[in-house]
Amino acid sequence: MSNTPSLENYWMPFTANRQFKAAPRLLAAAKGMYYTDVDGAQVLDGTAGLWCVNAGHGRQKIADAVARQLMTMDYAPSFQMGHPIVFDFAQKLAARAPGGQEAGLTKVFFTGSGSESVDTALKIAIAYQRSIGQGTRTRVIGRERGYHGVGFGGISVGGLVNNRRVFPLLPGVDHLRHTHDAVRNSFVKGLPEHGGDLAEDLERLVALHGAETIAAVIVEPVAGSTGVLLPPKGYLERLRAISKKHGILLIFDEVITGFGRLGTPFAVDYFGVVPDLVTTAKGLTNGALPMGAVFASEAVYEAMMNGPESQIELFHGYTYSGHPAACAAGLATLEVYEEEGLLTRAADVADHWQDAMHGLKGLPNIVDIRTIGLVAGIELSSRPDAAGARGYDIFVDCFNKGLLVRVTGDTIALSPPLIVEREQIDIMASMLGEAIK
C-alpha cells in the first residue's frame, strides 16, 4: 500500500501544483546521490536537488556544524552588530572569491536566497552609480530568456514571458536579445563557435536609452533554468568590454554556475571574464539551509561606503542576512568542497559526462544537446498540440525509472551532484535514453 499522505490541505507552489496533483511524487529521505520516495523507491538525483546539493545529500559535517551552531547561538541580528561566524564565513569566501584575488570581488553581502541576491545586486548597482554622481543611471538591462528568481527585481530583468505578462514590473528595464537561436541545433561539445557578436546588442540599447541612464547589465554566464543556454565564444568578453566602455556595471548571476558546477569554482574562473558583481546562493550551503551571497568589487564597495554621495543612508539587509546557522552550514560546505576537491571535480568527469550526454544524439525528437561542466540540456522538439508535454512525459518516465531530471519546457536539464561517479553517469544516460525512446 502506498504511504502517500493526504494532500487535501497542502499548498504547492502554484506553478507546480497542477502536475503534482495529477501524479504526486513524494520524497522522504536523501543520502549521497539518492533520494528515497515515501514508498521506499530509490531515485538517482540527476539535478542536485534544484542545482544546489553540489556535495551530495546528508553530509554529516554540515549537519553537525549546523546543530552545534544552533545550540551555541541560534540567531543574532546583524544590524548594528555582528557575530564572529558571519565574519569568518565572509572572510573565507572573500579568500576564495570569483576570479581569485586579482579580480578583487572580495566584498561579501549575505542574503537568504538567489532572488534576494539578485535584488541586492541590482540595488547595489544603482546605489553605486548614485554614489559616484551618476544618479541618472537607474535602468537595468537583462537578457531575454534570462532567469533571475522570482522577486520583482528578478522577474523584471528576467526573460520569462509568462511572469512578465502577469505582474507589474520594475520601470526602466530592457533586455538584450537572447542567444538561444545562435546555440540551438549546434550539438557541439563546448561553447558555440558563433554568436559572440550578439553582445553588440548592448550597443543598441545604449544608443536607444543613453548610457547615462543605464546602471547595470545582468546575465547568467550559463543560463540554467530557461533551458541550459551556453554563451557563444566571445559573448561574455564583449559584454564586459562594452559595459565597461559605457560605465555600466556588469553583474553575473552565478546562482547556478557558482561553487563548482562548471569545473571551476565560479563561471568567472571558467570564462576568465570579471564582472563588477556576482550573485550566488544554492551551492553556497550545499542546499542545507537557505542562503545567498553577493560578491562585489572593492571599487563598488568603496564608492558606496566612502564616495561623495555615500552619506545617503541605503537601507538594505534581511532578517536572515548572515544567519549564524546558515553561516555554519556554509563554512562546513566550503570545508567539504575543499577536502574533496569538489570545486574542480566537474572538470575531471566532464569528458565522461559530456560523452554520455552527447551519446543520446539520434534518439527520437532530440533537436539539440548542450553540455558544459556537469550540466546538460537535452532539447526536444515540442509537440504541436502542447508545448512542454513531451518534456513532462520524460520527467515522469525518468522518475518512475528512478532518475530525477528537471524539465524546463521541452528541455531536460541535468546537473548531478559533483560527487557523481562515472558508473552513475552511465546509469543516468541509459535511463534517460530509455525514457526518450
Using CB under 6 A as the criterion, which residues of the chain lie in contact with ligand PMP when the complex forms? 113-115, 118, 147-149, 220, 224-225, 253, 255-256, 281
| C-beta closer to ligand PMP: residue 134 or 411 | 411
| C-beta closer to ligand PMP: residue 192 or 221 | 221
The beta strand positions in 206-247, using DSSP E, are 214-219
**Shortest approach of ligand PMP to residue 208 CB, angstroms?**
26
| C-beta closer to ligand PMP: residue 47 or 131 | 47
Concatenated DSSP letters for 320-348?
TTT-HHHHHHHHHHHHHHHHTTHHHHHHH
166 in Cβ contact with 132 (< 8 Å) = no
Query: For residues 155 and 148, what is the distance between their CA atoms, to the nearest angstrom?
Result: 7
According to DSSP, the residues that pair with 30 across neighbouring strands are 35
**Shortest approach of ligand PMP to residue 254 CB, angstroms?**
7
CA 374 to chain centre: 13
Q: What is the dihedral of CA 341, 345, 348, 353, to 10 degrees?
A: 160
| C-beta closer to ligand PMP: residue 222 or 431 | 222
CB closest to ligand PMP, residue no: 114
**Shortest approach of ligand PMP to residue 104 CB, angstroms?**
22
Q: Which three cell numbers stand for residue 73?
A: 547561538
| C-beta closer to ligand PMP: residue 149 or 263 | 149
88: enclosing H helix or E strand: helix 84-95
**Shortest approach of ligand PMP to residue 161 CB, angstroms?**
17
134 in Cβ contact with 123 (< 8 Å) = no
**Shortest approach of ligand PMP to residue 148 CB, angstroms?**
5
| C-beta closer to ligand PMP: residue 256 or 407 | 256
230 in Cβ contact with 372 (< 8 Å) = yes
**Shortest approach of ligand PMP to residue 154 CB, angstroms?**
6
43 in Cβ contact with 403 (< 8 Å) = yes
Query: For residues 356 and 371, what is the distance between their CA atoms, to the nearest angstrom?
Result: 10
